[in-house]
Amino acid sequence: MMKIDQQAILKAATEILNTKGIAALSMRAIAANLDVKAASLYFHIKNKNDLFEQISEGISQRVFEKLNRVDEPDLQRLMDVFRAELKRIQDSPQIFSNTAPFTPYRTRLIQFSLDHLQQLGVPQQFTATAGNLLNNYVLSFVSDEQYFSRVDSSTFDESQFKSPINMADPDDSFQYGLNLIFAGIRVQSKNG
């Protein structure tokens, strides 16, 4: 029998997310993955919301640790690392959107963002607004990337359905969107 601890539970949850998605994630599914009774999980995880909070905090911790390995991290680097870490876990943008950002590593990342936005000239009273814009952009972008990676395009009859969207390379598209946001921040900061 496997030793049950928080790390084992989070690993099992990640496996379920990456193979079946958020709809299949439950304490029962995790227990089945670990070959234990669901009740034994509640010693380590209070409920599904607590599980989501711990998953988002784990992602935040990895982002923070990767940023600390860079000599002069900036918002660009934060957004790149955040996107990469979100992509590692299916439906993680939804998990982030459904959890409060008050855990230790998420709080550090938020403070990092707010400090760097002020350095770009964003007035203090609007740093949270600009930070939310960046956060929501990354969450939405990764959510779309994950969705379209699951869609079987062979099921569409192109004679009946022609997508008006012609996406560039995802990395180029992501950078283009960030450039638009940063350009808007610079213009707004100059105009006061």
At a CB cut-off of 8 Å and minimum separation 6, what does 115 contact?
none
Residues of the chain with pLDDT > 90: what percent? 81
In a domain, 82, yes or no: yes
Pair of tokens at residue 43: 């010693």
The predicted pLDDT at position 151 comes to 74
* pLDDT band, residue 156 (cuts 50/70/90): low
Instruction: Report the chain's mean pLDDT, rounded to a whole number.
Output: 91
Give the total number of structural domains in the chain: 1
- Its domain, for residue 121, covers 72-191
In a domain, 34, yes or no: no
In a domain, 106, yes or no: yes
* Residue of higher predicted confidence among 56 and 168: 56
Residue pair 43/36 in contact by the 8 Å Cβ criterion = no
Q: What is the C-alpha separation between 182 and 34, in angstroms, rounded?
A: 45
In a domain, 10, yes or no: no
The candidate with the shortest Cα–Cα distance to 119, out of 131, 106, 107, 104, is 131
In a domain, 123, yes or no: yes
Q: Average pLDDT of 165-183?
A: 88
In a domain, 125, yes or no: yes
Residue pair 22/96 in contact by the 8 Å Cβ criterion = no
The candidate with the shortest Cα–Cα distance to 82, out of 6, 145, 7, 148, is 145
Residue pair 105/60 in contact by the 8 Å Cβ criterion = yes
In a domain, 51, yes or no: no
- Model pTM greater than 0.95? no
The predicted pLDDT at position 189 comes to 83
In a domain, 48, yes or no: no
Q: What is the DSSP letter of 1?
A: -
CA Rg, the chain, in Å? 19
The CATH number of whichever domain residue 150 belongs to comes to 1.10.357.10
Query: pLDDT, tens digit, for every residue of 18-38?
Result: 999 999 999 999 999 999 999
